[in-house]
């Protein structure tokens, strides 16, 4: 039996080991995960789309472009040859940007055995289709077991061995998680990736884990805009808490569970991303809130900000399911519809009053200061 063959379910049998991991994508997070897997004593191949970048990684012994302070373990093999990267892999971590998931998965489909698990480490919702990243990959790969790795993780800290936790979810199905959870893709990868400092948790809620990752970047932009505009901790705490509620609202119609969003892949990731300028999404919003023009953000450098793209795809998907996400809609309005920051915050704070939690108190009351909110925010932000 190969490492790819799960065989018949047998609760007494040990789970097939994952010894060789292909990390597809050599940005900051891909490089960090390659380091974590190497520290866990797995055979690791790190794939970069560009040969010049792969050559620089090999020559420098570190990723000077994305993760300059982290030396690469000598055991990591770096290549720009996709077939070579995937050869004999027991599992694949797909860590390219969300916009490149479909193209990369399509290329992998010609090479990768159908039994090899593919773990999505990019976060987002595909524009147009409204698909989560695992669904996008599934359409192209046609049969590979799917999973997702998510959580409150800054790449450099994870790679340097700071205590870090994450959630790994997989689509093995409720029966396998109930009968033999240790044989699931999520559990097998958790065992393979766990180190003295990197602690994975296991979940059977793949859509719930992915929804948390998709929305947190949009909420982080909102927190950044608020901070850049001069609002303080009260505002950020409100946005984080109500942003968590928006995650819960969208998770349910997509098959996820509300309680999953209260874990590492939801509130954990949300809190981290919304509270530090190390987050590109938070930093992006902060610069916009401070009045810096979009083309001047990050000193005009072409930095990928996943939440900017996701502000459209998340709200499009929510509208399709008749789910209202006020904070995500406000971010969409600022980024894509030309709304002023003051108007967006007036909309958020002037909406009808609601019960909390909504599951217990269903009501909507006219806001007593609705007409004055627009004047208040324009005055504060002028």
Annotated active-site positions, please? Answer: 216
Measure the CA–CA gap between 369 and 374, rounded to whole angstroms.
10
In this structure, the strands spanning 364-365 and 353-354 are antiparallel
Going by C-alpha positions, the residue among 78, 24, 40 that lies closest to residue 159 is: 40
C-alpha span between 5 and 239 (Å, rounded) = 45
Peptide bond preceding 217: is omega within 30 degrees of 0, i.e. cis?
Answer: no
DSSP bridge partners of 93: 23, 119
CATH number of 20-204: 3.40.50.720
Would you give the end-to-end CA distance of the chain in angstroms? 69
Q: What is the pTM of this model?
A: 0.90
* Cα–Cα distance, 155 to 153 (Å, whole number): 6
- Spatial contact of 239 and 223, defined as CB atoms under 8 Å apart: yes
30 annotated to bind ligand: yes
Q: CA-based angle 93:96:97, to the nearest 5?
A: 135
Q: Which helix (H) or strand (E) holds 105?
A: helix 101-109
26 is in an annotated binding site: yes
pLDDT for position 2: 42
Q: For CA atoms 291, 294, 299, 304, give the dihedral sign.
A: positive
Total Cβ atoms within 10 A of residue 343 = 18
Quick one: which of 85, 125, 88 has its CA closest to 318? 125
Segments in 290-325 forming alpha helices (H):
306-320
- Tell me if 256 is assigned to a ligand binding site: no
Domain with CATH 3.40.50.720 in the chain: 20-204
Using CA atoms, how far apart are residues 135 and 126, in angstroms rounded to an integer? 9
Quick one: residue 173, left, alpha or beta (phi over 0 = left, psi -120 to 50 = alpha)?
A: left
**Is residue 212 part of an annotated ligand binding site?**
no
- Taking a C-beta distance cutoff of 8 angstroms, is the pair 300, 242 a contact? no
If DSSP codes are grouped into helix, strand and coil, which group holds residue 214?
Answer: helix
Which residue from 189, 202, 205, 186 is spatially nearest to 132, judged by alpha carbons?
A: 205
Q: Where in the chain is the domain with CATH 1.10.1040.10?
A: 211-381
In angstroms, what CA-CA distances link 213 with 231, 253, 317, 327?
A: 25, 16, 15, 16
Report the greatest alpha carbon distance in the chain. Answer: 70
Tell me the fold of 211-381: 1.10.1040
Can you give the pLDDT at residue 6?
A: 45
Residue 50 assigned ligand-binding role: yes
Asked if residue 155 belongs to a known ligand binding site, the reply is yes
CA distances from 163 to 110, 148, 158, 196 (A): 38, 20, 7, 8
Segments in the chain below pLDDT 50: 1-9
Question: Is 366 annotated as a binding-site member?
Answer: no
Task: Return the closest-CA partner of residue 27 out of 88, 85, 89, 94.
Answer: 94
The answer to the question of whether 257 is labelled as a binding residue is no
3-state secondary structure of 281: helix
């Amino acid at each position: 039996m190969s490492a790819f063959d799960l065989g018949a379910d047998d609760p007494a049998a040990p789970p097939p080991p994952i010894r060789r991991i292909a990390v597809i994508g050599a940005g900051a997070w891909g490089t960090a995960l390659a380091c974590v897997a190497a520290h866990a004593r797995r055979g690791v191949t790190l794939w970069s789309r560009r040969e010049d970048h792969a050559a620089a990684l090999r020559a420098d012994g570190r990723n000077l472009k994305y993760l300059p302070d982290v030396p690469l373990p000598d055991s990591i093999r770096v290549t720009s040859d996709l077939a070579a990267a995937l050869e004999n892999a027991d599992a694949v971590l797909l860590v390219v940007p969300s916009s490149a998931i479909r193209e990369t998965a399509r290329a992998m489909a010609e090479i990768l055995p159908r039994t090899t698990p593919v773990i999505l480490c990019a976060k987002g919702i595909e524009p147009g289709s409204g698909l989560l990243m695992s669904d996008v990959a599934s359409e192209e790969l046609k049969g590979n077991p799917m999973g997702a790795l998510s959580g409150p993780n800054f790449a450099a800290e994870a790679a340097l061995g700071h205590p870090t936790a994450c959630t790994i979810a997989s689509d093995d199905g409720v029966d396998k998680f109930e009968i033999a959870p240790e044989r699931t893709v999520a559990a097998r990868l958790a065992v393979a990736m766990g180190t003295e400092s990197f602690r994975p948790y296991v979940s059977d809620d793949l859509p719930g884990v992915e929804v948390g990752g998709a929305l947190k970047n949009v909420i982080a932009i909102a927190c950044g805009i608020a901070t850049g505009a001069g609002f303080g901790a009260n505002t950020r705490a409100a946005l984080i808490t109500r942003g968590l509620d928006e995650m819960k609202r969208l998770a349910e119609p997509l098959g996820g569970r509300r309680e999953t969003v209260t874990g590492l892949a939801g509130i954990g990731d949300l809190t981290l991303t919304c509270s530090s300028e190390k987050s590109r999404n938070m930093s992006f919003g902060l610069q916009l809130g401070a009045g810096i023009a979009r083309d001047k953000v990050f000193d005009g450098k072409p930095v990928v900000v996943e939440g900017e793209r996701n502000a459209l795809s998340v709200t499009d998907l929510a509208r399709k399911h008749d789910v209202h996400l006020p904070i995500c809609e406000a971010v969409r309005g600022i980024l894509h519809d030309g709304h002023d920051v003051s108007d967006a915050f007036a909309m958020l704070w002037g909406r009808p009053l609601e019960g909390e939690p909504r599951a217990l108190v269903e009501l909507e009351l006219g806001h007593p200061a609705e007409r004055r909110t627009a004047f208040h925010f324009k005055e504060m932000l002028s």
